[in-house]
Amino acid sequence: MSRNSAVKFGAVIFTALLALGAMKARHSGESSITHKLGILKHKHDDSGPRRTAKLTGPMSIRLELRGEMPKVKGDTYRVAAILKADQNLSDVKLNWILGPSVELVSGSPDYSLSLVAHEDQEVELILRATAAGPQRVQARAISLEQDARFAVSAHFNSQPPKRDFTNKND
């Protein structure tokens, strides 16, 4: 057997042994496989449900309705964007995007602001419903820091979901 073939054969055997050890450890509840080269840890953990998380930047935004939801055409209402940062951000652009049945009464569609780490910064608009039906509002914040650019957005929709996601049998 040539040296190259022996190396390939050894690699196949090593991989097979690791796989067998992993299967044994998984079935016996062990959390690691011991091998001459050290300890290999499983990425899979059966102790609880698997969870994933969205990667987030150093800034977040949420929208809040202040007061009553508009019921008829002409009603005014307030919506606030609450921004928060994990670090000081000096050049943040906030812009509001209003749906077709929303009119700006007070405030500006565009803001430039600085965020102080771990402190809420609020920007509030007064809006008017120009038609019956759903009121859609979006706020988008973009950080224009020197090293990285990133954006976050939040949406507000007065229309309830079309489907009832609750289980009637429970």
Residue with tokens 């973009």: 142
Q: Where are the domains of the chain?
A: 3-41, 59-157
Predicted confidence (pLDDT) at residue 82 exceeds the cutoff of 90: yes
Q: What is the pTM of this model?
A: 0.60
Residue 160: pLDDT band (50, 70, 90) is: low
CATH topology for 59-157 is Immunoglobulin-like (2.60.40)
pLDDT tens digits for range 17-74? 656 665 555 555 444 444 333 444 444 455 555 666 666 678 899 999 998 888 888 9
CA torsion angle 60 61 64 70 (round to 10): -160
Handedness of CA 90, 112, 95, 76 (dihedral sign): positive
Predicted confidence (pLDDT) at residue 13 exceeds the cutoff of 80: no
Q: Which residue has the higher pLDDT, 18 or 119?
A: 119
| Other CB atoms within 10 A of residue 121 CB | 19
